[in-house]
Structure 1
Amino acid sequence: MRALHQFSPQAALFRDPYALPILGEAAPNAGELSREDEHGRRMRLFVASRARLAEDWLAAAVRRGVAQVVVLGAGLDTFALRNPYPDLAVFEVDHPATQAWKRQRIAEAGLA
Protein backbone atom coordinates (compact mmCIF):
# COMPACT_ATOMS: atom_id res chain seq x y z
CA MET A 1 0.00 0.00 0.00
CA ARG A 2 2.87 2.37 0.71
CA ALA A 3 4.30 1.63 -2.71
CA LEU A 4 0.97 2.17 -4.46
CA HIS A 5 0.51 5.41 -2.52
CA GLN A 6 3.58 6.86 -4.26
CA PHE A 7 1.48 7.14 -7.46
CA SER A 8 -1.43 8.85 -5.71
CA PRO A 9 -2.40 12.53 -6.03
CA GLN A 10 -2.23 12.52 -2.19
CA ALA A 11 1.36 11.16 -2.23
CA ALA A 12 2.60 14.31 -0.49
CA LEU A 13 0.93 12.90 2.63
CA PHE A 14 3.67 10.28 2.88
CA ARG A 15 6.70 9.89 0.65
CA ASP A 16 8.69 6.66 0.74
CA PRO A 17 11.36 6.45 -1.97
CA TYR A 18 12.15 2.84 -0.98
CA ALA A 19 8.60 1.47 -1.06
CA LEU A 20 8.76 0.57 -4.76
CA PRO A 21 12.39 -0.62 -4.99
CA ILE A 22 12.10 -2.93 -1.98
CA LEU A 23 9.25 -4.80 -3.69
CA GLY A 24 11.22 -5.40 -6.88
CA GLU A 25 9.18 -7.17 -9.56
CA ALA A 26 6.18 -7.32 -7.20
CA ALA A 27 5.98 -3.50 -7.06
CA PRO A 28 2.72 -1.97 -8.26
CA ASN A 29 2.55 0.41 -11.20
CA ALA A 30 0.61 3.64 -11.70
CA GLY A 31 -2.14 1.81 -13.58
CA GLU A 32 -3.03 -0.18 -10.48
CA LEU A 33 -4.06 3.04 -8.73
CA SER A 34 -6.77 3.60 -11.35
CA ARG A 35 -8.19 0.12 -10.63
CA GLU A 36 -8.30 0.69 -6.88
CA ASP A 37 -11.76 0.28 -5.34
CA GLU A 38 -13.10 2.51 -2.56
CA HIS A 39 -12.10 0.08 0.20
CA GLY A 40 -8.57 -0.17 -1.19
CA ARG A 41 -8.31 3.62 -1.48
CA ARG A 42 -9.41 4.11 2.12
CA MET A 43 -7.03 1.43 3.39
CA ARG A 44 -4.13 2.92 1.42
CA LEU A 45 -4.87 6.39 2.79
CA PHE A 46 -5.14 4.95 6.32
CA VAL A 47 -1.73 3.27 5.99
CA ALA A 48 -0.13 6.44 4.61
CA SER A 49 -1.78 8.62 7.29
CA ARG A 50 -0.71 6.27 10.06
CA ALA A 51 2.89 6.35 8.81
CA ARG A 52 2.85 10.16 8.52
CA LEU A 53 1.44 10.53 12.05
CA ALA A 54 3.92 8.06 13.55
CA GLU A 55 6.87 9.77 11.89
CA ASP A 56 5.65 13.23 12.92
CA TRP A 57 5.37 12.03 16.54
CA LEU A 58 8.83 10.50 16.26
CA ALA A 59 10.22 13.82 15.00
CA ALA A 60 8.76 15.55 18.06
CA ALA A 61 10.24 12.87 20.33
CA VAL A 62 13.68 13.25 18.73
CA ARG A 63 13.49 17.01 19.34
CA ARG A 64 12.85 16.19 23.02
CA GLY A 65 15.97 14.02 23.13
CA VAL A 66 14.72 10.52 22.32
CA ALA A 67 17.65 8.54 20.90
CA GLN A 68 16.11 5.15 20.10
CA VAL A 69 13.03 3.85 18.34
CA VAL A 70 11.73 0.29 18.09
CA VAL A 71 9.64 -0.69 15.07
CA LEU A 72 7.54 -3.67 16.16
CA GLY A 73 6.31 -5.95 13.38
CA ALA A 74 8.60 -4.07 11.00
CA GLY A 75 7.75 -6.11 7.91
CA LEU A 76 8.89 -4.11 4.88
CA ASP A 77 8.85 -0.80 6.75
CA THR A 78 11.63 1.39 5.35
CA PHE A 79 12.09 3.96 8.11
CA ALA A 80 15.50 2.52 9.02
CA LEU A 81 16.60 3.25 5.44
CA ARG A 82 15.03 6.73 5.45
CA ASN A 83 16.02 7.74 8.99
CA PRO A 84 16.92 11.46 8.79
CA TYR A 85 18.25 11.59 12.37
CA PRO A 86 21.94 10.67 12.56
CA ASP A 87 21.81 10.13 16.35
CA LEU A 88 18.64 8.01 16.35
CA ALA A 89 19.16 4.25 16.74
CA VAL A 90 16.46 2.23 14.95
CA PHE A 91 15.70 -1.32 16.09
CA GLU A 92 13.39 -3.47 13.99
CA VAL A 93 11.62 -6.42 15.57
CA ASP A 94 9.81 -9.06 13.54
CA HIS A 95 9.70 -12.79 12.96
CA PRO A 96 13.18 -14.08 11.95
CA ALA A 97 11.87 -15.35 8.60
CA THR A 98 10.31 -11.96 7.86
CA GLN A 99 13.54 -10.19 8.77
CA ALA A 100 15.55 -12.54 6.53
CA TRP A 101 13.10 -11.90 3.66
CA LYS A 102 13.41 -8.15 4.18
CA ARG A 103 17.22 -8.29 4.20
CA GLN A 104 17.01 -10.28 0.95
CA ARG A 105 14.66 -7.70 -0.61
CA ILE A 106 16.98 -4.86 0.46
CA ALA A 107 20.03 -6.60 -1.00
CA GLU A 108 18.26 -7.45 -4.27
CA ALA A 109 17.13 -3.83 -4.58
CA GLY A 110 20.73 -2.68 -4.11
CA LEU A 111 19.82 -0.66 -1.02
CA ALA A 112 22.07 -0.16 1.98
Structure 2
Amino acid sequence: MGKISQEDDRRKIPHKILVEKVREVIAELRQGIQEGRIKTAGELDPQQVGERAYHLARTYLSPNLRPVINATGVVLHTNLGRAVLSEPARESLLTISRGYSNLEINLETG
Protein backbone atom coordinates (compact mmCIF):
# COMPACT_ATOMS: atom_id res chain seq x y z
CA MET A 1 0.00 0.00 0.00
CA GLY A 2 2.91 2.34 0.73
CA LYS A 3 4.21 1.92 -2.83
CA ILE A 4 0.80 2.70 -4.27
CA SER A 5 0.48 6.04 -2.47
CA GLN A 6 4.03 7.08 -3.41
CA GLU A 7 3.57 7.02 -7.18
CA ASP A 8 3.34 10.47 -8.83
CA ASP A 9 -0.31 10.62 -9.90
CA ARG A 10 -1.46 9.01 -6.70
CA ARG A 11 0.05 11.75 -4.55
CA LYS A 12 -2.92 13.92 -5.46
CA ILE A 13 -5.31 11.44 -3.85
CA PRO A 14 -5.60 11.69 -0.06
CA HIS A 15 -3.96 8.67 1.56
CA LYS A 16 -7.08 7.92 3.61
CA ILE A 17 -9.25 7.63 0.48
CA LEU A 18 -6.69 5.51 -1.37
CA VAL A 19 -6.45 3.14 1.61
CA GLU A 20 -10.26 2.92 1.72
CA LYS A 21 -10.37 2.01 -1.97
CA VAL A 22 -7.59 -0.58 -1.61
CA ARG A 23 -9.64 -2.18 1.15
CA GLU A 24 -12.71 -2.18 -1.11
CA VAL A 25 -10.75 -3.92 -3.87
CA ILE A 26 -9.41 -6.50 -1.42
CA ALA A 27 -12.95 -7.12 -0.14
CA GLU A 28 -14.14 -7.60 -3.76
CA LEU A 29 -11.30 -10.06 -4.38
CA ARG A 30 -12.05 -11.92 -1.16
CA GLN A 31 -15.70 -12.24 -2.18
CA GLY A 32 -14.65 -13.39 -5.66
CA ILE A 33 -12.49 -16.12 -4.14
CA GLN A 34 -15.30 -17.25 -1.83
CA GLU A 35 -17.76 -17.37 -4.74
CA GLY A 36 -15.30 -19.22 -6.97
CA ARG A 37 -15.02 -16.43 -9.56
CA ILE A 38 -11.29 -15.95 -8.86
CA LYS A 39 -9.29 -19.11 -9.36
CA THR A 40 -5.73 -18.06 -10.21
CA ALA A 41 -3.09 -16.10 -8.34
CA GLY A 42 -2.66 -13.88 -11.39
CA GLU A 43 -5.97 -12.23 -10.58
CA LEU A 44 -4.52 -11.17 -7.22
CA ASP A 45 -1.61 -9.19 -8.69
CA PRO A 46 -0.73 -6.30 -6.34
CA GLN A 47 -0.20 -3.98 -9.33
CA GLN A 48 -3.75 -4.69 -10.52
CA VAL A 49 -5.09 -4.13 -7.01
CA GLY A 50 -3.34 -0.77 -6.96
CA GLU A 51 -4.63 0.21 -10.39
CA ARG A 52 -8.20 -0.74 -9.50
CA ALA A 53 -7.99 1.16 -6.19
CA TYR A 54 -6.56 4.20 -7.98
CA HIS A 55 -9.39 4.10 -10.54
CA LEU A 56 -12.02 3.82 -7.78
CA ALA A 57 -10.45 6.73 -5.87
CA ARG A 58 -10.34 8.95 -8.97
CA THR A 59 -13.97 8.14 -9.74
CA TYR A 60 -14.96 8.82 -6.12
CA LEU A 61 -13.22 12.21 -6.11
CA SER A 62 -14.43 13.34 -9.54
CA PRO A 63 -17.18 15.94 -9.58
CA ASN A 64 -20.31 14.35 -10.96
CA LEU A 65 -22.81 17.21 -11.13
CA ARG A 66 -23.47 18.49 -14.62
CA PRO A 67 -26.05 20.64 -16.34
CA VAL A 68 -29.12 18.80 -17.61
CA ILE A 69 -32.27 19.74 -19.45
CA ASN A 70 -35.43 19.45 -17.39
CA ALA A 71 -37.85 17.80 -19.81
CA THR A 72 -39.92 16.17 -17.08
CA GLY A 73 -42.81 18.59 -17.35
CA VAL A 74 -42.39 19.47 -13.68
CA VAL A 75 -41.15 23.04 -13.20
CA LEU A 76 -39.43 22.39 -9.84
CA HIS A 77 -38.27 18.78 -9.97
CA THR A 78 -36.38 18.15 -6.72
CA ASN A 79 -34.17 15.43 -8.22
CA LEU A 80 -32.86 17.98 -10.73
CA GLY A 81 -31.61 20.43 -8.13
CA ARG A 82 -33.69 23.38 -7.14
CA ALA A 83 -35.09 26.39 -8.95
CA VAL A 84 -32.69 28.07 -11.36
CA LEU A 85 -31.23 31.20 -9.76
CA SER A 86 -31.54 34.58 -11.40
CA GLU A 87 -28.38 36.50 -12.31
CA PRO A 88 -28.71 38.90 -9.31
CA ALA A 89 -29.20 35.93 -6.97
CA ARG A 90 -26.10 34.18 -8.37
CA GLU A 91 -24.05 37.38 -8.01
CA SER A 92 -25.23 37.80 -4.42
CA LEU A 93 -24.41 34.17 -3.65
CA LEU A 94 -20.95 34.55 -5.16
CA THR A 95 -20.30 37.71 -3.14
CA ILE A 96 -21.37 36.22 0.18
CA SER A 97 -19.60 32.91 -0.42
CA ARG A 98 -16.20 34.61 -0.61
CA GLY A 99 -16.05 34.84 3.19
CA TYR A 100 -17.91 34.02 6.37
CA SER A 101 -21.62 34.78 6.68
CA ASN A 102 -24.43 34.66 9.20
CA LEU A 103 -26.11 31.71 7.44
CA GLU A 104 -27.03 29.85 10.63
CA ILE A 105 -26.79 32.52 13.26
CA ASN A 106 -29.07 35.40 14.14
CA LEU A 107 -26.84 38.45 14.53
CA GLU A 108 -29.30 40.10 16.93
CA THR A 109 -29.76 37.18 19.31
CA GLY A 110 -26.52 35.26 18.80
TM-score (norm 2): 0.28
Larger relative contact order, structure 1 or 2 (CA cutoff 8 Å, min sep 6): 1
The structure whose residues are more often strand, as a share, is 1
Larger radius of gyration: 2
